A and B are shown apart, each in its own frame.
Chain A
Amino acid sequence: MTLHVASTDTVEKPMSGADQDRQAYLAKLLAQRSPDGPSWLGKIRDRALSIVQERGLPSNRDEDWRFTDLSGLYKTTFAPAAQASLHLQDIESLILADAPLRLVFVNGFYAPALSAVDHRPVGLSIHTLVDAAPLAQLGQQQGMTEVFTALNTANFEDVVVIQVAKHQIIETPIHLLFLTTGEEPTVTYPRGLIVAEDHSAVTLIEEYAAVGADTYFTNAVTEVWVGQNAQVHHHRIQREAKTAFHIGKTAVSQDRDSCYSLTSLSLGGQMSRHNPLVIPTGEQTDTRLQGLTLAVDQQVADTHSDLSFTGPHCTAQQLHKCIVDDRARAVFNGKIFVPKLAQQTNASQLSRNLLLSTKARVDTKPQLEIIADDVKCAHGATVSQLDDEEVFYLQSRGLDRDSACDLLVEGFAAEIIEQLPIAQQRQRLLDAVLSEIR
C-alpha cells in the first residue's frame, strides 16, 4: 500500500491573514516535537510530517470542516504533555470490574501501574512502543494523509499494539483508557493499532477521559485491521472534559467475510470531532456503525464517517443519533461510497436527531455515492424535538412532564448505549446522559 497526497487544492490563492495565523500556529505545534522511538519509526514520522506541512491546518472554508469552527483550537496554545503519575484511586470511577484487561495511558504515556495486563488469554499479545517489533501495519491505513491523522503520526509518544492470533477468540473485553491530566493546556496524541488476524474475535473498549484537566487537546488515531472472517467489536467512548478539544480518527480495513462493529459515543469536549473511516477490502463483509452524540451548553460535536466499499456482497448498517440541548451544535456527515465493483451491496444509513432547546442546532448530511447498479442502498435523516403526543401519553400514565421527557430521551440514547458490552458502563453512561440534559 502506498501513501499518496491527493492534490485537490491546486488553485494557488494569496494567503489571507487567517491562513498565515494557521500556518504560524502549525509551525509552533511542530516546533515542540520531540519524538523519539525506534529508528524504523523515523521514516513513517518524516513522511507524516511532510504531509502535515504540505496540507496545512484546515479552516471552515474546507468542505470537510465547513460546519465546525476550529478557531477556538487555533487560539489556544498547547504545550506538549509531560509524563504524569496518577494513582489507582484517581481513576476508580473509570475502572470496569468486568473488563479485567486494562491498559491506561496518561498524557499519551503508558502507565503500567494503573494497567492490568497480567491475565492475558492465550493468543493475545499486547505491546507498547518500548517492546514492539517494527510494526509493518502502522500508518498504513487509508486516510493517513488527513492532516490531523498525520499530525498524530508525526508526534505520538507511544502506541498500544493489540494483536490477536489466528483462530483465537478473546472473550473478555479489553479496556483502553486514554487519560489527560494537568492544569496547563497540553496536547496529547494517543495512538492505537489493533490487528485481529484471520478467524479471530476481539472486543475493545476505547475510552477518552480527563483526570483533573480542563483545557487540552487530544488528537487520537486508532488503526484496526480485521482479518479474514475475523470479528472486531469496537466501542469508543469519548468523555473528555467540557472545555477540551478532541479530534479522533478510527481507520479500519476489513478483509473478506469479516465483521466489524463500532459503537461510538461522544459526550465531552467543547469541540469534538470523530472520523470513522471503514474500508472493506474483501468481499462479503459486514459493517455496523452506531453513534451517539450528546451536545449541551456551547459544545460542538462533529462526526464525519466514511464507508467506502471496494468489493461485492457487502452489507452495512449505520445509525447515528444526536441529542442536542442548550446552544450546542451537532454535525453529522455520513458518506457511503459504492463503486462499480461493489455489486450486491446492501447498505443503509440513518441519522436521527433530537433537538431539546430552541437554540440547539444540527447540521446533518447523509451522503450516498453509488456507481454499481445492482445494489440496495437507502439513507434517511430526521430532525425533531420530543413528540408531544409521546410525552402526553406518558403523562396520561401518571408521569410528570420532566420524567416523561427523561424517559423518552433515555430510550433514544439507550438504543446505542445498549450495544456496550459491560452493564456497569452502560449504566454510568445513561446516568451521564440524563444528568447532562436535566
Chain B
Amino acid sequence: MTATATVENLVNQPYKYGFVTDIEVETIPKGLSEDVVRLISAKKNEPEFMLDFRLKAYRQWLKMSEPNWPHVNYPAIDYQDITYYSAPKAPAEKKQSLDEVDPILLETFEKLGIPLSEQKRLSNVAVDAVFDSVSVATTFRKDLAKVGVIFCSISEALHDYPELVEKYLGSVVPINDNFFSALNAAVFSDGSFVYIPKGVKCPMELSTYFRINTEGAGQFERTLIIAEEGSQVSYLEGCTAPMFDTNQLHAAVVELVALDNADIKYSTVQNWFAGDENGKGGIYNFVTKRGLCAGKNSKISWTQVETGSAITWKYPSCVLVGDNSIGEFYSVALTNNMQQADTGTKMIHVGKNTRSTIISKGISAGRSQNSYRGLVRMGPKADGSRNYSQCDSMLIGSNAEANTFPYIQVQNNSTKVEHEASTSKIGEEQLFYFAQRGISTEDAVSMMISGFCKDVFNQLPMEFAVEADRLLSLKLEGSVG
C-alpha cells in the first residue's frame, strides 16, 4: 500500500456523536419574520431593550446579502426553511438543581463525555450545557458565585443582570457587522454569559458544551465574556451534532471584552457533524468571534481545534485597542472528505506596543478544501506594534486543497509584521524512517500530525489537549496509507 492510501484509510473514522436524543421538544414553525423574532423574545420573556435590539438586527439583516468572498461552495440557504427556536419541553421554571433536569438530557450529555451530575462531573471544570436553543444546566454556579464570578446562560443573565448585558452586548460585534452576525442578533436563543469581577482569577475552567439535536433547526447562540480589570479566565467550548443528511445552520456570535490587565483565554474544540464522505449533510458553521482588548496590558488568546462541520467560516479576531495589549491565535483546522474550511483570524492593532501572534496549522485530506484567511492591520497609531504569523498546511492525498490568503495592511512604520507559510505532505521517506524503527504507519502518521500541531495543542488546557490529540488521530484514522 502506498503512503497516501494508508493516510487516507486513517482519516475515515465514523462520527461517534451522531446519535439523536429522542426527547420531546418544543419548536416554533419554520421561517423567519418579524413575528418570529418577537415570538422568540416573548418566549424568553426578555426585557424591552432586547426586543429592540433583535428587531433592529432583523431589519438590518433584511438589507444585507450573504458574503460571497469565502473560498467555499454551498447551495443557497433557504432562510425560511429553518426552525429558529427548538427547546426540550420543560416546565417554565428554570431548574434550581440538576435533579430536576430531564434524565434523558443528562444521559445525552454523559454519552457525549460531559457528565453533569454531582458525582460524576469534572472536578475542576464548570460546564454550561446547551441543547438546541436553550441552556439545560450549568454546574458549579454556587462555587463560582462565592468569588463573584457570574457564569450562567445568557437568558438568565438578561433577567438577572440586564444592565451588564445591555452595556456589552453588541459592543464588540455590532449587529450590522456581517450577514450572519445580524441574523444571530435577531434570533439568538441562548448561550453563555461570563462576568469576572475586578481582580478575580477564575478558580476553574469554564466551559460550554453545544449540542444540536433537532433536525432542521438552526443553532444561534451568543456568548459574552467580560473580564474586568486585572481578572483572568479560561473558557472552553465544545460542539457536536447528530448525523442528518440535511445541512444545518449554526451561526453563533462570541464577544469578549478584556479591560485593563485582564486575561481571557478562549479555546474551542469544534466537532460538529461534518457530513458523510460524499458531503451529504453536516453543519454549516458560520461563526463570528471577536475579542476586544479594551484595556491596557490586556490579553486575549484564541485556541481552536476545528475538526467538524461541513463548512467552517470563522475568523476569531482580536481588536487590540489598549496599549501593550496582546492578541494570540492558535489554530488547528482539519478537513477530510468533502469538508470546506475558510478560517483564520484578524488582528487589528489600534493601540501602542500591541503584540499579536498567529499560529495556524491546516491539515486537508480527502477532497476537502482548507483555507487560511487572515488579516493583520497596523493602524496609524499602533506605534511599536509587532505581529508574527505562521501558517503551515499539510496535504494528505492528491485531491485535497490548501490555500492561504494573508492580508497585511500596515499604516505605521514603527511596527513590524512577519508572515510565513509553508505547505508540505507526509513523505514516504518519513514513513519509511518510522517503519525502520518498528513503528507502524498509523502510529507514525499520528505522531507526525501530533508533532505538526504541537504548537497549538500546547496552548489548550491540559485535559483538552489530550482530548484534541485523540480526536485528531481518530478523525484521521484511515486516511494515511
In angstroms, Cα B423 to Cα A370, docked, is 8
Q: Which residues of A contact B69 (CB under 8 A)?
A: 63
Main secondary structure of the interface of A (DSSP, over half): strand
In angstroms, Cα B409 to Cα A383, docked, is 9
In angstroms, Cα B69 to Cα A378, docked, is 24
Interface string of A54-87 (1 = CB under 8 A from B): 0000000001000000000000000000000000
Given contacts A358-B380, A382-B418, contact A370 B395 (CB under 8 A): yes
Whether the pair B423, A361 counts as a contact (CB closer than 8 A) is no
Stretch of A89-97, A148-156, A349-357 with 4 or more beta carbons under 8 angstroms from chain B: A349-357
Whether the pair B421, A383 counts as a contact (CB closer than 8 A) is no
A372 within 8 A of B: yes
Main secondary structure of the interface of B (DSSP, over half): strand
Whether the pair B408, A363 counts as a contact (CB closer than 8 A) is yes
In angstroms, Cα B424 to Cα A278, docked, is 23
Q: Which residues of A contact B410 (CB under 8 A)?
A: 353, 355, 361-363, 383
Name the one of B4, B411, B412 contacting A373, with C-beta atoms under 8 angstroms.
B4
B contacts with A, residue count (CB < 8 A): 37
In angstroms, Cα B372 to Cα A365, docked, is 12
Whether the pair B401, A371 counts as a contact (CB closer than 8 A) is yes
Whether the pair B413, A356 counts as a contact (CB closer than 8 A) is yes
B133 within 8 A of A: no
Given contacts A358-B380, A378-B423, A379-B404, contact A373 B398 (CB under 8 A): yes
Q: Which residues of A contact B403 (CB under 8 A)?
A: 367-370
In angstroms, Cα B410 to Cα A304, docked, is 18
Whether the pair B422, A363 counts as a contact (CB closer than 8 A) is no
A125 within 8 A of B: no
Q: List A residues 157-174 near B (Cβ within 8 Å).
A: none
In angstroms, Cα B28 to Cα A378, docked, is 51
In angstroms, Cα B395 to Cα A340, docked, is 11
A contacts with B, residue count (CB < 8 A): 36
Q: List B residues 345-393 near A (Cβ within 8 Å).
A: 378, 380, 393
Whether the pair B380, A381 counts as a contact (CB closer than 8 A) is no
Whether the pair B417, A382 counts as a contact (CB closer than 8 A) is yes
Residue among A340, A361, A365, A385 with the highest chain B CB neighbour number at 10 A: A365
B186 within 8 A of A: no
Interface string of A359-398 (1 = CB under 8 A from B): 1111111111111111111111111110000000000000
Whether the pair B399, A383 counts as a contact (CB closer than 8 A) is no
Whether the pair A381, B417 counts as a contact (CB closer than 8 A) is yes
Whether the pair A373, B407 counts as a contact (CB closer than 8 A) is no
Given contacts A369-B401, A371-B400, A380-B420, contact A364 B395 (CB under 8 A): no
A343 within 8 A of B: yes
Whether the pair A382, B424 counts as a contact (CB closer than 8 A) is no
Q: Which residues of B contact A376 (CB under 8 A)?
A: 422-424
Residue of B nearest to A10 (CB): B68
Q: Which residues of A contact B405 (CB under 8 A)?
A: 365, 367
Residue among A11, A359, A373, A384 with the highest chain B CB neighbour number at 10 A: A373
In angstroms, Cα B417 to Cα A365, docked, is 12
Q: List A residues 309-333 near B (Cβ within 8 Å).
A: none
Residue of B nearest to A349 (CB): B421
In angstroms, Cα B402 to Cα A375, docked, is 11
In angstroms, Cα B69 to Cα A228, docked, is 38
In angstroms, Cα B406 to Cα A368, docked, is 9
Minimum CB–CB distance for A330 against chain B, Å = 10
In angstroms, Cα B406 to Cα A58, docked, is 23
Whether the pair A381, B412 counts as a contact (CB closer than 8 A) is no
Given contacts A340-B398, A373-B4, A374-B398, contact A368 B414 (CB under 8 A): no
Q: Which residues of A contact B419 (CB under 8 A)?
A: 366, 379-382
Q: Which residues of B contact A361 (CB under 8 A)?
A: 409-411
B415 within 8 A of A: yes
Residue of A nearest to B399 (CB): A340
Given contacts A359-B380, A361-B409, A382-B416, 20 further A-B contacts (CB under 8 A): A343-B398, A355-B412, A356-B413, A361-B411, A364-B407, A366-B404, A366-B406, A367-B403, A370-B402, A371-B399, A371-B401, A373-B395, A373-B398, A374-B425, A376-B423, A377-B422, A378-B421, A378-B423, A382-B417, A385-B413
Listed from nearest, the 10 A-B pairs whose CB atoms lie closest are: A355-B413, A373-B395, A381-B419, A383-B417, A385-B413, A380-B420, A377-B423, A378-B422, A369-B403, A383-B410
Interface, chain A (partner B; CB < 8 A): 11, 63, 340, 343, 353, 355-385
A-B contact pairs, 25 of them (CB 8 A): A340-B398, A355-B412, A356-B413, A357-B413, A359-B380, A363-B409, A364-B407, A364-B408, A366-B404, A366-B406, A367-B406, A368-B403, A370-B401, A370-B403, A372-B398, A375-B423, A375-B425, A376-B422, A378-B421, A380-B420, A381-B408, A381-B418, A382-B416, A382-B417, A383-B415
Interface, chain B (partner A; CB < 8 A): 4, 65, 69, 378, 380, 393, 395-425
